[in-house]
């Protein structure tokens, strides 16, 4: 009987985890202003989690289709809409980590990890002990 209960618990836990996927469309919220910045589509490619910008929230007087002027290499001058900004995240017990995230505003690439918390993705970009964390909200 204990084995049946334990197996039932594992099955329920697996179903709950699969229902809470990081893949999909997420609205990014600026951790400094609290305002929405973009929508990022998070997807799996070759067993790793990646994310690309599919929409920007810009003021009417701002360029609605900007390019990444501060980026380096192949991403320099690339349009931000459609740009892959998050790459290489792999599952590690309770979070995805060992990936990178690009900030198109300054062209810098940071180490990255993400995890689910209260139906949101927590996205942390960091260099050594210094980090910033943003909440991304699921888009229907």
Q: Please tell me the predicted confidence (pLDDT) of residue 20.
A: 72
CATH number of the domain where residue 40 is located: 2.40.128.520
pLDDT above 70 covers what percent of the chain? Answer: 86
User: What torsion do the CA atoms of 111, 116, 119, 121 make, to the nearest 10 degrees?
Assistant: 10
Indicate if the pLDDT at residue 118 is higher than 90.
yes
Given phi > 0 = left and psi -120 to 50 = alpha, else beta, which region is 87?
A: beta
Structural domain boundaries, residue 67: 22-138
Does residue 80 sit within a domain? yes
Does residue 57 sit within a domain? yes
In this prediction, residues 65-74 reach a mean pLDDT of 95
pLDDT above 90 covers what percent of the chain? Answer: 81
Query: What is the spatial distance between Cα 78 and Cα 32, in angstroms, rounded to a whole number?
Result: 25
Indicate if the pLDDT at residue 13 is higher than 80.
no
Indicate if the pLDDT at residue 7 is higher than 50.
no
> Which backbone phi and psi does 4 adopt, to 5 degrees?
-65, -45
pTM above 0.85, yes or no: no
Per the structure, the count of domains in the chain is 1
Query: What is the spatial distance between Cα 35 and Cα 104, in angstroms, rounded to a whole number?
Result: 17
């Amino acid at each position: 009987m204990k084995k049946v209960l334990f197996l039932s618990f594992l099955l329920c836990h697996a179903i709950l985890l699969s229902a809470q996927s990081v893949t999909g469309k997420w609205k990014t919220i600026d951790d400094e202003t609290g305002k929405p910045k973009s929508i990022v589509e998070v997807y799996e490619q070759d067993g790793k989690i990646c994310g690309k910008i599919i929409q920007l929230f810009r003021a009417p007087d701002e360029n609605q289709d900007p390019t990444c002027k501060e980026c380096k290499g192949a991403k320099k001058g690339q349009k931000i809409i459609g740009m892959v900004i998050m790459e290489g995240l792999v599952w590690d017990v309770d979070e995805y980590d060992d990936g990178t995230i690009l900030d198109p505003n300054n062209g810098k690439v940071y180490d990255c990890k993400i995890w689910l918390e209260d139906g949101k993705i927590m996205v942390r970009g960091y260099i050594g002990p210094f980090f910033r964390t943003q909440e991304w909200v699921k888009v229907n």
